[in-house]
Structure 1
Amino acid sequence: MRFFKKIFPYLLFLSLPLIAQNKISKSWVADLGNDFYKNPILHADYSDPDICRVENDYYMTASSFNCIPGLPILHSNDLVNWEIIGYGIDKLEPDSIFSKPQHGNGVWAPSIRYHNGEFYIYYGDPDYGIFMVKSKDPAGKWEKPLLVKKGKGLIDPCPLWDDDGKVYLVHAYAGSRAGIKSLLAVQEMNAEGTKVIGQSRIVYDGHDIDPTIEGPKFYKRNGYYYIFAPAGGVSTGWQIALRAEKIFGPYERKMVMAQGNTPVNGPHQGGWVVTPFEEDWFIHFQDKGPFGRVVHLQPMTWENDWPVIGVDKDNDGCGEPAMSFRKPKTDKNYPAATPPESDDFNSPTLGLQWQWNANPGEWWYFANPQTGLLSLYSVPVPDDYINLWDIPNLLLQKFPSDNFTATVKLTFRPSTVITGERTGLIIMGMDYGMLSLEKTKDGLILSQIECLQAEKRGKEIVNEKRTLTDSTFYLQVRVSPEARCVFTYSLDGKIFKTLGKPFMAKEGKWIGAKMGFFCSRPVKNNDGGRVEIDWFKVE
């Protein structure tokens, strides 16, 4: 009993993050609570989503580019309410490259499938080729990425296990690396799905009517092979379906969803899933600029062996996105669920909402469940440092909606022998804005800073600053549907004062804007200071 009393507080600390992760978002919930849902089902940046079903469970993954951990794994029982359960990649290889921010590179457009008791994810790295990871437990450890097909510009892969035991891979080409785009290719793989064999063959040329066709997903139904793919560009395109009686074609083509009279621009790539009740549904994304590539759920039907995605109001066989619809049929009513946003930092590991800007160092943080504090240690800036675009130790999470307030309580503990150490609350994209705490020779300075064209090595601009004597602060940002960010601060957590001027958030490289923290120092001495983060709340 004495031992139990001793460890009970620690066990309680471990249980708190699990409780926190079950909390429902205060900024966006797609489940309307009346057997209907609203789109997007995830008002956050889950670009290029794909989906598979195993019995009554649905699993989704998405592009993660340079963000680590990568390949988010989400779970749902009803296609509307989703939670993050893990990641498919702990770090990107080679580490010598991805230990530095590689904005827009890394993991592109994955596909997720379940076959013979194992989960497979195939994804393209546009600079190295097509990779595969697999696991028997989607919430557990995934095997190290395996190179299936080497080459530059090979993107958006998806496998198909055929009825005769053969395995095939469809993929697209990135013009920036391959020197060609608007083409889809199919190639056979070995029985294990670990290596391509035979000759790759172009099966569709979209240059004339489907420019920039990409993101193909491979299916088979009623004797037809189907390739679902978006064309026409991320923010201006449409969805097509290709079908053929043979794996290498020839393929017929039909447009199956377009924007129509809706505000859902794009509607871009995604995946088809069939429920246990034989209902067909399709997830896809919409590019909302600073708010990211958000995920929609559409009803789907079949007419003459062609899919119709969304709502076909004029009965022409091409649907348009539904803004609200009845929920998919399920075996029971499942409670509302959303990915985690707020964090009390009571776990010995980082919450699943957090990702680094590059492969992290082992000593960058300490999550202490006994104190409930997350310590971020100051990391030396690169030799060619200009701004935070090139800082690897940004700890960030996605915008959760287009209207929210984020507040952090933190204590800055800079080194006593270093000046220039900084920490703060940041809104990060190709432009960034932040509240920065910096130790200077004149004391602790709180500044509202913006950096325009950060990816082009733009300089930081200080809009307003204060000299303060406290070390504990409440930093806050309010984000409006126009992506307007207003920064405020408080010394007591009650009265907040605006600092600087509004900042207009901007998307990153292929991703939405993100929010989070950093801690850096300008020298490479053997030790530095830290920031202790007590909690982070999103409302």
Structure 2
Amino acid sequence: MIYLTRSLFTAMLATTVSSFAASTEAWVPDRGDGTYQNPVLHADYSDPDAVRVGDDYYMTASSFLAAPGLPILHSKDLVNWTLINHVFAVQKPAEHFSKPRHGQGVWAPSIRHHDGKFWIFYPDPDFGIYVTTAVDPAGKWSEPVLMKAGKGLIDPCPLWDDDGRLYLVHGWARSRAGIANMLTVQELSADGTRVLESEINLQTADGKTNDIGTVVIDANKLDGWRTLEGPKFYKRDGWYWVFAPAGGVATGYQAVFRSKNIRGPYEQRIVLEQGKTPINGPHQGAWVTTPDGKEDWFLHFQDKGAYGRVVHLQPMWWRDDGWPVMGSDPESDGKGEPVLTHAKPNVGRTWPVAVPATTDEFNAPKAGLQWQWNANPREGWASLTAKAGALRLASVPAPATRNDDSAAKNSLYDAPNFYVQKFPAPAFTATTVLDFAPVAEGEMAGLAVFGFNYAVLGLRKQGEQSRLVLLTNIGADAVGAQHRETASAEVPAGPVYLRVTVGADAMARFAYSLDDVTFTPIGEAFKAREDRWIGAKFGLIATAPSDATATGHADFDWFRVTAPVR
């Protein structure tokens, strides 16, 4: 049994209370009648992994370029989740991630509990595999240690065998390593910080060093298989099991492999695929059980474009032939299909409805955990003490050049100071109030939707006044792409209310108000799009021209997310 620490209890209370303020109406998986609807998280918690400790479930997920990174979510029933922590505030190497590194950073992590500690192994495909630990998942995590350096090492997962020895399975990214579609295993030191010397083949036939480990599954030798990755390591009834997705992010399926020897050979079977359902590419996630051990469940993602990789929960059971099946099996062939609704896991009691927080009144000492920057933040970018009951964002000069060293004229795609959160539902409305105090000509602050397409509705300093403008950039990731002013309006001095409503088609419609009652639409509908490997995000920004030497700030009294407001 695990006891709630003070930090975990405080995090659970804060996220649950704030979520009930508004977010529950945007998307609620718990149907209140003993059943749930998928997805259980309609937000971009990509490549989820989870572990049960006692009667508590903890999940982590990829965070890519965002800071803080490596989210920690908590649930009692696998349906109602709250965001309780992030593993780190600043991503390593710190200077490298001072810029938005689209598609880089934390890829698919794994979370386990062993020897009284929580362990997370996570990959950065450009640097290697890191390990971090914590006694309290809602508390402080250890400084990540680069336990295996190298390019293209992805999706690690540990397994402590019955004799206490520690092994790690991981995949490969062809873009960095030149190899892919295979999984390797190596034995680690007891503290998980290094590969054992005995695992490294110091001399190959051609005289080169090779430390890729034992290739236990090579899907290049399996007819029709591609993009095998994301392995999760388990042991059950004397069998070593590797759960791994294949077939591609948006179109793939879930496979499982088993062997009596940790180094193989492994036999394989596909156990979950789209079938006749609307759930494309159901794969990559975590197998967990209920506290009494009587039920098995599988968490996985579905790629939904602008909405990111949302998380589904599938019932799982074991066939008489010893193989698992996930979802439903209408053909009785062992290949499951995702369920859209189902009875909730039987965890012994009913737990309150909860969802990750989205609304933030900015009255607490710290901003909500839902907020992330597009790069490692700098001191002074944000304050909750400069003005009581408000978030103050400093107007940060926009980068003069993009990451590819091209000029960044009229582009915020590589601006590190977007203060954003994940799309939380198929459709929702976000509203905020802005009080602007600019200094530099061209300084701007407002409400943003960010991805390969981005838009910002806000106030921009023009001479002695501020004008309401809508900036849009379509295909912002392309070299030379620039935003343009697509709409504007004269507004009197003083606070202005800004609103965006996102529909189920990912079309975003902006509006503004002077009294928070009557909202006036502005501009044309805007198509939200994903960014590199992540869903679109929405939130706030305060920016200034790149050559500005003195800048002002923007105060946001609150940020509220609800079901769509028409």
What TM-score results when the alignment is normalised by the length of structure 2?
0.90
Structure 1: how far apart are the matches of 2:63 and 2:244?
A: 20
- How far apart, CA to CA, are the structure 2 residues paired with 1:451 and 1:383? 17
Alignment partner for residue 418 of structure 2, among 383, 391, 394?
394
Cα distance in 2, alignment partners of residues 19 and 204 from structure 1: 46
- The correspondence of residues 173-212 of structure 1 with structure 2, limited to 5 A, is 173-197=172-196, 198-199=199-200, 200-207=213-220, 208-212=223-227
Change (3 A) 1:301 1:369: farther
Question: Relative to structure 1, is the Cα distance of residues 298 and 218 closer, same or farther in structure 2, using a 3 angstrom cutoff?
Answer: same
Equivalent in 520, 524, 532 of residue 497 of structure 1: 520
SS of equivalent to 1:350? coil
Cross-structure match for 1:216? 231
State whether residues 277 and 329 of structure 1, in contact with CA within 8 Å, keep that contact through their aligned partners in structure 2. Answer: no
* Cα distance in 1 between the residues matched to 2:125 and 2:14: 40
Structure 2 residue 77 is matched with structure 1 residue 78: yes
Q: CA deviation at 1:442?
A: 6.1
Which residue identity lines up with residue 163 of structure 2 in the other structure? D
Once residues 174 and 464 of structure 2 are traced to their aligned partners in structure 1, the CA distance between those partners, rounded to angstroms, is: 52
* Superposition TM-score, scaled by structure 1 size: 0.95
Mapped to 2, the partners of 1:325 and 1:523 lie a distance apart of 53
Quote how far apart the aligned CAs of 1:443 are: 2.4
Q: In the aligned structure 2, how far is the partner of 1:506 from the partner of 1:484?
A: 9
Partner of 1:408: 432
Partner residue, 1:122: 121
- Deviations 1:378-430, CA, capped at 9 Å, x for gaps: 11222223311111111000001111111111111112xx2111111111001
Structure-2 residue corresponding to 1:283? 299
In structure 2, the gaps of 5 or more residues are 1-12, 201-212, 402-407
Counterpart of 2:485?
462
- In structure 1, what is the Cα distance between the partners aligned to 2:237 and 2:322? 8
CA distance in 2, matches of 1:205, 1:452: 40
User: Which stretch has the larger CA shift, 340-349 or 18-27?
Assistant: 18-27
The CA distance in 1 between the partners of 2:527 and 2:383, in whole Å, is 32
Match of 1:12 in 2: none
Q: Deviations over 1:420-479 (max 9, x none)?
A: 111111110011122131101262121122101111141112111113232311100111
Q: Secondary structure at the match of 2:105?
A: coil
* Change beyond 3 A, Cα 1:439–1:369: closer
User: Do the aligned partners of 2:43 and 2:310 also contact (CA within 8 Å) in 1?
Assistant: yes
Q: Which residue of 1 aligns with 2:531?
A: 508
> Where do residues 295-306 of structure 1 align in structure 2 (5 Å cutoff)?
295-303=311-319, 304-306=321-323
SS of corresponding position for 2:108: strand
Residue 271, structure 1, aligned to residue 294, structure 2: no
CA distance in 1, matches of 2:445, 2:434: 10
Verify the 8 A CA contact 2:472 2:486 in the aligned structure 1: yes
Please list the CA deviations of residues 324-350 of structure 1 after superposition, one character each: whole Å capped at 9, or x if unmatched: 000001122100000001110001211
Question: Counterpart in 1 of 2:465?
Answer: 443
- Work out whether residues 15 and 356 of structure 2, in 8 Å CA contact, stay in contact via their aligned partners in 1: no
Query: What CA distance in whole angstroms lies between the structure 1 residues aligned with 2:485 and 2:400?
Result: 22
Q: State the partner residue of 2:308.
A: 292
Aligned-partner Cα distance in 2 for 1:20–1:117:
31
Shift of 1:524: 5.1
Cα offset, 1:21, TM superposition: 4.5
Question: Is this contact kept in 1: 2:468–2:488, CA < 8 A?
Answer: yes
Give the share of equivalent positions with the same residue, in percent: 50
Over 6 Å off, 4+ runs: 15-18
| 1:7 alignment partner in structure 2 | none
* Residue deviations 1:256-312 (CA, integer Å, cap 9, x gap): 111001110001210100111221000000000001100000000011221111111
Q: CA deviation at 1:370?
A: 7.1
Q: Aligned-pair distance for 1:194?
A: 1.5
- Amino acid in the other structure paired with 2:461: K
Query: Counterpart of 1:455 in 2: which secondary structure?
Result: coil
Residues 1:95 and 2:116 are matched in the alignment: no
Q: Is the 8 A contact 1:25 1:341 kept in 2?
A: no
- Whether the 8 Å contact between 2:360 and 2:367 is mirrored in structure 1 is no
Q: 1:91 to 1:411 in 2, by over 3 A?
A: same
Confirm whether residue 327 of structure 1 aligns to residue 350 of structure 2.
no
Per the alignment, in what secondary structure is the counterpart of residue 60 of structure 1?
strand
Q: 1:36 to 1:18 in 2, by over 3 A?
A: closer
Residue 17 of structure 1 contacts residue 344 of structure 1 at CA under 8 Å; is this kept in 2?
no
State the superposition RMSD in angstroms.
Answer: 1.4
Counterpart residue type for residue 474 of structure 1: Y
Q: 1:487 aligns with which of 485, 489, 510?
A: 510
Aligned to 2:18: 20
For 1:433, the aligned partner's letter is A
Summarize deviations over 1:20-61 as a string: whole Å, max 9, x none. 245452200000001100000000000000000000000000
Aligned residue identity for 1:142: W
Retained in 1: the 8 A contact 2:279–2:338?
Answer: yes
Question: CA offsets per residue over residues 223-263 of structure 1, 9 Å max, x none?
Answer: 00000001000111111000000000000010111100111
Once the two structures are superposed, residues 62-91 of structure 1 have per-residue CA deviations (whole angstroms, 9 ceiling, x without a partner) of 000010000000000000000000001111
**Counterparts of 1:434 and 1:367, CA distance in 2:** 22
1:17 Cα deviation after fit: 7.8
Number of equivalent positions: 523
Establish whether residue 245 from structure 1 lines up as the match of residue 260 from structure 2: yes
C-alpha distance in structure 2 between counterparts of 1:360 and 1:247, whole Å: 42
Say whether 1:362 aligns with 2:386.
no
Q: CA deviation at 1:210?
A: 2.0
Give the drift of 1:368: 2.7
Contact 1:213 1:231 in 2 (8 A): yes
How far did 1:525 drift? 5.3
CA 18–289 in structure 1, closer or farther in 2 if over 3 Å, else same: closer
Write the letter of the residue equivalent to 1:393: N
Contact 1:347 1:368 (C-alpha < 8 Å) held by counterparts:
no
Answer whether contact 2:47 2:108 (CA < 8 A) is retained. Answer: yes
Indicate if the aligned counterparts of 2:15 and 2:357 stay in contact, CA closer than 8 A. no
Is the Cα–Cα contact under 8 Å of residues 61 and 110 in structure 1 kept in the other structure? yes
Alignment-mate amino acid for residue 295 of structure 1? V
Which residue type is aligned with residue 264 of structure 2?
G
- The one-character-per-residue Cα deviations of 1:191-235 (angstroms, maximum 9, x if unpaired) are 111211214111111123320011000000010000000100011
Cross-structure match for 2:404: none
Q: Distance in 2 between matches of 1:135 and 1:80?
A: 24
Q: Secondary structure at the match of 2:368?
A: coil
Give the secondary structure class of the aligned counterpart of 2:318: strand
State how far apart, in whole Å, the 1-side matches of 2:270 and 2:303 are: 20
Q: Which residue of 2 aligns with 1:154?
A: 153
Equivalent in the alignment of 2:559: 536
- Equivalent residues of 1:16, 1:346 under 8 A apart: no
Structure with bigger strand share is 1
Moved more, 220-229 or 433-442: 433-442
Verify the 8 A CA contact 2:272 2:283 in the aligned structure 1: no
